[in-house]
Structure 1
Amino acid sequence: MTTHQTVSLLIGLAIVVVLARLLGALAQRLGQPAVIGEVLAGIALGPTLFQGAISDTLFPDDTRPLLGALAAVGVAVFMFIVGLEWDAALIRGSGNIALTVSISSVLLPFGLGALLGLYLMDRHGTGDRTAFILFIGIAMSITAFPVLARILTDRGMSRTPLGAVALACASIDDILAWSLLAAVVAISGSAGTDEWRILLAVPYLLGMLTVLRPALRRMVDRRPSLRLTPNVFACVLTGLLLSAAATEWLGLHYIFGAFLFGVVLPRPGTERLRREVHDRLAPLSGTLLLPVFFLIAGLQVDLSGLDASGLGDLVLILLVAVGGKFVGAFVAARLNRMPARQSAALATLMNTRGLTELIVLNVGLQLGFLGRELYSLMVVMAVVTTAMAGPLLTSLLGRPTGNDLTDAHRAGKATDVPERATGSAV
């Protein structure tokens, strides 16, 4: 790196951090998740405003690969944290309602999204027709578990029956959506001339779940007072990076390896250790690395040339994304005898896409599934569907009280969700 590159990188990073914090705080003051402001910060620095003059001045072309590398690390760490917090107990304790709502809220938007992909193919399609159509379906099916969990916490709903069901549904949605995306990446031939490597993905997955996970479990059992020492933390980081590198080499994307390593870390008896890992990684990721990812994502968004045709496509994208998720979740919840108001609230929560959607869209952009114009429209969809969750929940359930209900009986009365629909997750 030259002195000019170093200075440009450091100044650019400082600007990204400050702008992300300011707009994130402003979004929270307006009752929105901070991620909305941070995404808008990235878009504001991109080519949408002033024909890219701001981004060209602050982030010269020779520093952007460096920013891209930091963004990749940030996404890998974020996906590891998502895997670390993913808990199968949410699914086991939520009853049939979580499974049926999740399947319905994935399959319906996926099917509608695939039909939308057929329509968009002529104007926005890429070389691989099948991958394009399937990817549009996946993009419509995403629910952002981390953003949904934060919304529930901010509203004091995380331990209510409705909140427990929503978390379980989002958890299952994550697994279904990532599995579908992995399948599309695999069949698209993104590994290039080394497509044979994708055949190793299944043995790798089985090895992580049936060899590494039990080995880690035995190690934890032998050391019940395991603490996050520098050596342990270094081992966690090494495993995260190697797992991410492995899935990238296999022809999948590095996000799958990072997520999988978080999932395979043992749960029972490691609550303190996992909390310490989270507390070490989350502040750096959320304050520096993810804002860089938002910047990189925003630099790819260009809405300056949006015309009537583009607006029409955006309206269709929003209708399919919102309608597919809402109808799928609402109908399934009603079939499980959840009251209409709570069913609508659950469907609204399942429409939260946030950062998870941006990660999926960037995978599509990197692998050539999406062009720049359609990518820009899909980013707008991700922002809109996340921003609408708070106001819609307020209209359905009233303003948050800030009191997290912990008593199952009180929670049941507050939400009118049938007791059988909540299981032991309350």
Structure 2
Amino acid sequence: MASVHANEQLLFSILLQLIVMIGAARMMNAAFRAMGQPGVIGEIVAGLLLGPSLFGHFFPGVSLAVFGAKPSPAITMLSQIGLILLMFQIGADFDFGHLRSAKMKRAVLLIAVGSIVVPFGLGLWLGFASQPSIAPGIDPVIYALFCGVALAITAVPILGRILREFRLTRTPIGVVAISAAAINDVVGWVMLACISAYATAVFSGAFLLWRLVAIAVLLCALRFVLAPLVDWLLRRWPVVDGRLPANLMAVTLCIMFGLGIATYQIGIFAIFGGFAAGLLFHRHTDFVEAWSSQVGHFTLVFFLPVFFTFTGLRTNLLGLSPADLGWLVLVLAAAVGGKIVPVFFASRAAGFDTNESSILASLMNTRALMELIVLNIGYDLGFLPQNMFTMLVVMAVVTTLMTGPLLRLLLPRTGHVVLRAAEA
């Protein structure tokens, strides 16, 4: 009887948390869209406001009653399952066809390289410079590497939404930006996987060899076993009238979670399995559209607020000291300058004019969701301390908030008509 009561109490607590998370996310989504910002930024801010930066600070007793002293295991697992589903959608949405365009290939590669190398280098410098004062007990190399990846990342999902809102998806600028960001993200995830493996492993030649062999086997399985299997599945259970057959949806979920187990066993995190599964389906546009409509929308409304609140409960803006504020300024300067300056000059070298280059630089500065995923991995592994985690979360929000206003300022100079932001 006691166990039944405990289970009911746990269910009550989780349901209450979900009501607060989803309700706050929707309200802030609408508020930010009304201000011309992507709604997802409002959801990120909602997660921050529910944490110790506002709600937990002014109403500590209520916050403790609702969320507990730390995120519950159930909420933590929900956030991770949501990330696997989200990473599947990101992988499925990738359009690698843009990368085969000879006309813009040079521009894409120049911008991708500039948007990765320079901010990664600045992140390394920032990590080594701040480690003695911010992370004295953490391995300086691993800490600096995480800082480098954090500054180098660009958020493809949010960038895609912004491009749709500003009607840039079919313009040369939009195609180059999303293609360069795709390369940026793939390289960033590979770097993150390698750094995470290095950070968590007992580094040895035998271990490294096993890891490389396991990754090679997984890649071969994806290309020669699972890709043909997916093609067969879609012939066996085709999408009809934009609806996914139940059997196809069930098998897709099993493939996704199975790959999550495989990448976890290799040591590169379960969320990479979701991304790899998405890549298997990205050529099948009818499936991708149906999945986005039937499953993706639910993922964004239900799971994403859970992840944002999970991040917000770990982020305490009020916990930054006056000394930390100086480092925060440096983080923002390195992050913004490290993206905008090299992308601007790479765009000019690729033949874009000053206004177009400024627009591309503004777009590539977008970080948001992908940044938060990277930061949570670093935090969970213990290689990003609380204060730096908070500063990098602030950077992710600020760099993304900048994009909309900059585009509204710059796009009219190219003759592009800017309409009111659509729903994100």
Q: TM-score with structure 2 length normalisation?
A: 0.89
Secondary structure at the aligned position of 1:205 is classed as helix
How far 1:214 sits from its partner (Å)? 3.3
1:108 pairs with 2:108:
no
State which of 201, 210, 216 in structure 1 corresponds to 2:224: 210
Alpha-carbon displacement from aligned partner over 1:17-69 (angstroms, at most 9, x marks no partner): 11100001101111111121111111111112243444312112587111111
Task: Provide the residue aligned with 1:393 in structure 2.
Answer: 407
1:357 pairs with 2:371:
yes
Q: 1:225 to 1:342 in 2, by over 3 A?
A: same
The code of the aligned residue for 2:42 comes to: G
Whole-angstrom distance in 2 between the partners of 1:271 and 1:191: 42
How far 1:164 sits from its partner (Å)? 1.2
1:91 pairs with 2:108:
no
Task: Provide the residue aligned with 1:381 in structure 2.
Answer: 395
Identify the range of structure 1 (193-202 vs 233-242) with the bigger mean alpha-carbon deviation: 193-202
How far 1:281 sits from its partner (Å)? 1.7
Equivalent residue runs for 1:125-164 within 5 Å: 125=135, 126-164=137-175
Task: Provide the residue aligned with 2:3 in structure 1.
Answer: none
Identify the range of structure 1 (189-198 vs 155-164) with the bigger mean alpha-carbon deviation: 189-198
Task: Provide the residue aligned with 2:211 in structure 1.
Answer: 198
Alpha-carbon displacement from aligned partner over 1:393-421 (angstroms, at most 9, x marks no partner): 111113853499xxxxxxxxxxxxxxxxx
Task: Provide the residue aligned with 2:337 in structure 1.
Answer: 323
How far 1:209 sits from its partner (Å)? 2.4
Q: 1:165 to 1:342 in 2, by over 3 A?
A: same
Identify the range of structure 1 (96-105 vs 180-189) with the bigger mean alpha-carbon deviation: 180-189
The code of the aligned residue for 2:358 comes to: A
Whole-angstrom distance in 1 between the partners of 2:95 and 2:251: 22
Whole-angstrom distance in 2 between the partners of 1:306 and 1:226: 51
Alpha-carbon displacement from aligned partner over 1:143-196 (angstroms, at most 9, x marks no partner): 111111111111111111111111111111111111111111122235899957
Identify the range of structure 1 (88-97 vs 184-193) with the bigger mean alpha-carbon deviation: 184-193
Contact 1:361 1:378 in 2 (8 A): yes
Whole-angstrom distance in 1 between the partners of 2:182 and 2:268: 21
Whole-angstrom distance in 1 between the partners of 2:26 and 2:91: 25
State which of 288, 295, 301 in structure 2 corresponds to 1:281: 295
State which of 242, 248, 253 in structure 1 corresponds to 2:269: 253
Whole-angstrom distance in 2 between the partners of 1:280 and 1:190: 39
Task: Provide the residue aligned with 1:166 in structure 2.
Answer: 177
Contact 1:144 1:170 in 2 (8 A): yes
Task: Provide the residue aligned with 2:73 in structure 1.
Answer: 65
Task: Provide the identity percentage.
Answer: 36
The code of the aligned residue for 1:336 comes to: A
Contact 1:152 1:158 in 2 (8 A): yes
Task: Provide the residue aligned with 2:318 in structure 1.
Answer: 304
The code of the aligned residue for 2:256 comes to: L
Task: Provide the residue aligned with 1:176 in structure 2.
Answer: 187
Alpha-carbon displacement from aligned partner over 1:110-138 (angstroms, at most 9, x marks no partner): 01110111111112235332211111111
Whole-angstrom distance in 2 between the partners of 1:370 and 1:62: 18
Whole-angstrom distance in 1 between the partners of 2:238 and 2:49: 47
Whole-angstrom distance in 1 between the partners of 2:125 and 2:293: 42
Identify the range of structure 1 (75-84 vs 274-283) with the bigger mean alpha-carbon deviation: 274-283
Q: Which runs of 5+ in 1 are unaligned?
A: 405-426
State which of 35, 41, 44 in structure 2 corresponds to 1:36: 41
1:271 pairs with 2:318:
no
Secondary structure at the aligned position of 1:117 is classed as helix
Q: 1:339 to 1:54 in 2, by over 3 A?
A: farther
Whole-angstrom distance in 1 between the partners of 2:237 and 2:264: 34
The code of the aligned residue for 2:77 comes to: A
Identify the range of structure 1 (100-109 vs 202-211) with the bigger mean alpha-carbon deviation: 202-211
State which of 87, 93, 109 in structure 2 corresponds to 1:79: 87
Task: Provide the residue aligned with 1:408 in structure 2.
Answer: none
Task: Provide the residue aligned with 1:240 in structure 2.
Answer: 256
How far 1:225 sits from its partner (Å)? 4.3
Contact 2:123 2:148 in 1 (8 A): yes
Task: Provide the residue aligned with 1:422 in structure 2.
Answer: none
Task: Provide the residue aligned with 1:20 in structure 2.
Answer: 25
1:314 pairs with 2:348:
no
1:55 pairs with 2:71:
no
Q: 1:219 to 1:357 in 2, by over 3 A?
A: same
Q: 1:53 to 1:348 in 2, by over 3 A?
A: farther
RMSD of aligned residue pairs (Cα, Å): 2.3
Whole-angstrom distance in 1 between the partners of 2:182 and 2:25: 27
Task: Provide the residue aligned with 1:368 in structure 2.
Answer: 382
Whole-angstrom distance in 1 between the partners of 2:398 and 2:354: 24
Contact 1:142 1:173 in 2 (8 A): yes
How far 1:272 sits from its partner (Å)? 1.3
How far 1:297 sits from its partner (Å)? 0.2
Whole-angstrom distance in 1 between the partners of 2:289 and 2:201: 36
The code of the aligned residue for 1:304 comes to: L
Whole-angstrom distance in 2 between the partners of 1:380 and 1:292: 18
The code of the aligned residue for 2:345 comes to: V
Task: Provide the residue aligned with 1:418 in structure 2.
Answer: none
Question: Aligned residue pairs: how many?
Answer: 401
Q: 1:195 to 1:2 in 2, by over 3 A?
A: farther
Identify the range of structure 1 (239-248 vs 222-231) with the bigger mean alpha-carbon deviation: 222-231
Q: Which runs of 5+ in 2 are unaligned?
A: 1-5
Contact 2:71 2:310 in 1 (8 A): no
Contact 1:191 1:198 in 2 (8 A): no
